[in-house]
Amino acid sequence: MPWDETDDYWRHRIREPELFHEETFKTVEITEGVKAVMGKLKADEGELADKPMKTQSVLFSKEKFEKVEDAKDWYEEHKDSFRALEPGGEKRGGSGRTVNRGIETRSIPPMEMRVEERDGELSSISGYGALFNSWTWIGDSFREMVLPGAFTETIEKDKIKALWNHDRMFLLGSNRANPPTLELLEDKKGLKYIVDPPKRAYWLPTLVESIQRGDTEGSSFSFMATEDRWETDEDGEKREVIKARVFDLGPVTFEAYEGTEIAVRSALVSVGIDVDSLSQALAKERPTEADVRTIEHSIEVLRRKLPSDEPTHLDDAARLLQARKDKQRTRAEAILRL
């Protein structure tokens, strides 16, 4: 699909806008400088409120991406992650489970991390981003185990970052830097990382002291499973990750498996709820009219899933939102009369 530009963005069209219900368009922030324009396709079956959201185009801020080539490179590197936003990007696993091929995050239990020094100066930080042959419950949904060799291909061909707490502001290193500042290798335990962090970063002494004191003792990695195997036994569903693409890894302050959060997010998106817009709206002390519409739409979608028409807490929430909106309108009218 074509690329074009506006005053502020490079734009990559995935689908033509006339294929969508115009009133359903929403903008979802993917990461800093990258947004997805999403809506509901006219061709999809079902009532409008029940249709899933699909990606129409991707916007790249010119402040972040000076050249369109930079935007294209980013899109090629991350385009598979957009499947996480669409039910159409899902694949059915061996046990019949619908598997979302989006970006997932996993942490490992606290284990030894090392801070190496040479000639009295920091040399490297090392730890394990993932462990092999270890069954772990992902929320209450299923068990998961990463198989040896799952990361061989991604280590060889992909650009992988080492980050503190998955935050791009705290970049520790990259396996594609020149020379590389991140070394990745698979051993009997799992995926090991050895990173040479930027010595002048103002936050580095805090991280080093936190590791040395044991405050930070866990690691985590973001990945996309490109090949997996699902089975069911007496304990429920289980998943073996055979091959995965890694995006980033590194030390984290809080170690937690996010399987429950991923499942909830995927479920909400699949029924047409814009999770990112809803989260932003709920975080605001004074929501805008657009925020209120987002919240009201989400309440209405969830109400449709209830088994009866009996009054619920959702009705109470709707009344509170209406009261807040009336109050805002009254305040605006009072200001206009001044």
pLDDT value for 146:
95
* Residues 242, 2: Cα–Cα separation, whole Å: 35
Of 127-136, 184-193, 250-259, 329-338, the least confident? 329-338
For 263, phi then psi, to 5°, come to: -65, -45
- The DSSP 8-state label assigned to residue 199 in this structure reads T
> For the segment 205-224, what is each residue's pLDDT rounded down to a tens digit?
999 999 988 888 889 998 88
This model's pTM is above 0.85:
no
Of 86-90, 162-166, 180-184, 191-195, the least confident? 86-90
pLDDT band at 96; cut points 50, 70, 90: very low
* Residues 272, 302: Cα–Cα separation, whole Å: 10
pLDDT value for 107:
83
> For the segment 255-312, what is each residue's pLDDT rounded down to a tens digit?
654 444 545 665 676 677 877 677 777 767 777 888 888 888 888 888 877 766 555 5
| DSSP per-residue letters across 266-327 | HHHHHTT--HHHHHHHHH-SS--HHHHHHHHHHHHHHHHTSSS-S--HHHHHHHHHHHHHHH
* Residues 162, 164: Cα–Cα separation, whole Å: 7
> For the segment 118-166, what is each residue's pLDDT rounded down to a tens digit?
877 888 999 999 999 988 887 667 889 999 999 999 999 899 999 998 8
